[in-house]
Chain A
């Protein structure tokens, strides 16, 4: 399989250069951008497989980039890369359409691995994101219009998320649960879909409240 084509979006030039150097030889970086406008233009022009997207940028941030690109290039996938680990940032960018969330302290090879995973259409959950999701879906929904397809996690999905939060890699999880790595990926993708589409009103409220107590 050829190396995935990547566009870097981050308003810090220094950070872009650092990531570019780290990913050298692992993925093909076809462009980078520092602002929301530049990013949309660049992505539409180069049509990369994956966009590494900073969450906090002047002029609307990563979510604005996703909203600008998706109608014109629906095949482009986004992986959020951020220094923030605040729940409302994480949840917001995932709900805007990012297929994963990693923090900027991630190592080069791990990042390249995450990019490949997203390029393949899978979801990338950091331990922290897995923890957030478990927390956010923990409260029982009081409303009558609970959609079990979207508003609840299955026991298996919960188990997979708990392993991610405990620091296990997908293939280790597959081993422990005696399922294939593909199945683990399918579970994570299903969780991602629920996270994006669930209209659990608690989700956003939870994210905000969580920040308040921290």
Chain B
């Protein structure tokens, strides 16, 4: 048994209560002090030679981020409109420069050679850091689209948000620029110029030579991958056809003396193949009204071998009243199967703004509704009663010789 306290929560940054990056907010509960105390301490330590700033950056880099809606300066940009976030960034930069100039006149200053390049590089580093953090979120693979056959190769794609390239580019430029400025200020650049030029020329030459090969390699890899996917799809298709269509055809040959059975088999196979071609997964009816109706009808078709056509206009999620509606529709279809012998049955469902209607119609002999004895509970209880209980209505329209139609209405 874990005793509270023996396994304390790991140290995390707390972006939900962050002012800058949530370091203080994350540390404070562990140390048992108010975050404000820590913040003041950090600011004071920063003023005294920058130790605080350094410590803060180290903590920020080391502490994993905790849960919570991010707040604070570092994510301000993502929550402000673009223009405003640029203004905020510009403001922060100007403030920083003002503070630095102030420190410079006071003499709290290392040297121009160190501070300015460091600042440039730090700004660039921060940019890159932020972008890399964001791209991690994007890395989760996009939901696999339904494809014929389902079990496809899951493709993992790293998608960087588009602006992140610009951000990362700017960051890299700033870091490199910082380095160059440092070299230039210390005078190391003039000495290194000849070497740099030589290296540059060599790199360009190698690039020119290798680029065609590299392009061909990339193209070859893509082709190879496409070919593999194609082969896989072909294998899948063959497996599916073998499992379903060939099996059914074999079964039909064996049952050739029973036309009813053959028709039912053919119909079932047709339905499965259609579902498969349309990218649905068999055995997993959609959790919607139309999906449930189709599943119910498929079951009745299988059990009784009577063709039932479902036409659905609109759709809605399957909640409890809708399930009752589907159950009532199922009873109506079963009733039609029983009394209309082998005549085809139509099921029509329409989802309107405020109500759902389902019609179950058969072309059977029909009957005289008034002549049905009161103790016959089939339609009355399982259809009419069920609809009543869920605030809906059921009507039976029938006349001898004109078929039967059961109308189910349910408000949403």
A214 to B274, CA, bound (A): 10
Residues B279 and A214 in contact, CB atoms below 8 Å apart: yes
Q: List, in ascending order, chain B residues with CB within 8 A of A85's CB.
A: 274
Q: List, in ascending order, chain A residues with CB within 8 A of B330's CB.
A: none
A206 to B317, CA, bound (A): 19
A212 to B286, CA, bound (A): 13
A contact residues vs B (CB 8 Å cutoff):
85-86, 105, 127-128, 130-131, 134-135, 138, 162, 165-168, 172, 211-212, 214
Residues A135 and B313 in contact, CB atoms below 8 Å apart: yes
Q: List, in ascending order, chain B residues with CB within 8 A of A86's CB.
A: 278
A19 to B107, CA, bound (A): 100
Q: How far is the CB of A98 from chain B (nearest CB, A)?
A: 19
Q: List, in ascending order, chain A residues with CB within 8 A of B311's CB.
A: 127-128, 130-131, 165
Give the interface centre of A134, A138, A165 by most chain B CB atoms within 10 Å. A165
Residues A162 and B348 in contact, CB atoms below 8 Å apart: yes
Residues B279 and A167 in contact, CB atoms below 8 Å apart: no
Residues A214 and B313 in contact, CB atoms below 8 Å apart: no
Q: List, in ascending order, chain A residues with CB within 8 A of B346's CB.
A: 127, 165-167
Q: List, in ascending order, chain B residues with CB within 8 A of A167's CB.
A: 309, 344-346, 348, 361, 363
B contact residues vs A (CB 8 Å cutoff):
146, 274, 278-280, 307, 309, 311-314, 344-346, 348, 350, 359, 361, 363, 402, 405
Residues B359 and A166 in contact, CB atoms below 8 Å apart: yes
Q: How far is the CB of B132 from chain A (nearest CB, A)?
A: 34
Residue ID in chain B nearest A133 by CB atoms: B313
Residues B348 and A131 in contact, CB atoms below 8 Å apart: yes
Known contacts A162-B348, A166-B405, A214-B280; decide if A131 and B312 are in contact (CB<8 Å).
yes
Residues B278 and A165 in contact, CB atoms below 8 Å apart: no
Residues A138 and B314 in contact, CB atoms below 8 Å apart: yes
A127 to B311, CA, bound (A): 7
Q: How far is the CB of A163 from chain B (nearest CB, A)?
A: 9
Q: How far is the CB of B331 from chain A (nearest CB, A)?
A: 18
Residue ID in chain A nearest B311 by CB atoms: A131
Q: List, in ascending order, chain A residues with CB within 8 A of B350's CB.
A: 134, 162, 165
A211 to B146, CA, bound (A): 11
Known contacts A86-B278, A127-B346, A214-B280; decide if A165 and B363 are in contact (CB<8 Å).
no
Q: List, in ascending order, chain A residues with CB within 8 A of B280's CB.
A: 214
Q: List, in ascending order, chain A residues with CB within 8 A of B146's CB.
A: 212
Closest 9 CB pairs of A and B: A167-B346, A131-B311, A166-B348, A214-B278, A134-B313, A167-B361, A166-B359, A165-B311, A165-B348
A131 to B346, CA, bound (A): 12
A127 to B359, CA, bound (A): 13
A85 to B311, CA, bound (A): 11
Residues B309 and A128 in contact, CB atoms below 8 Å apart: yes
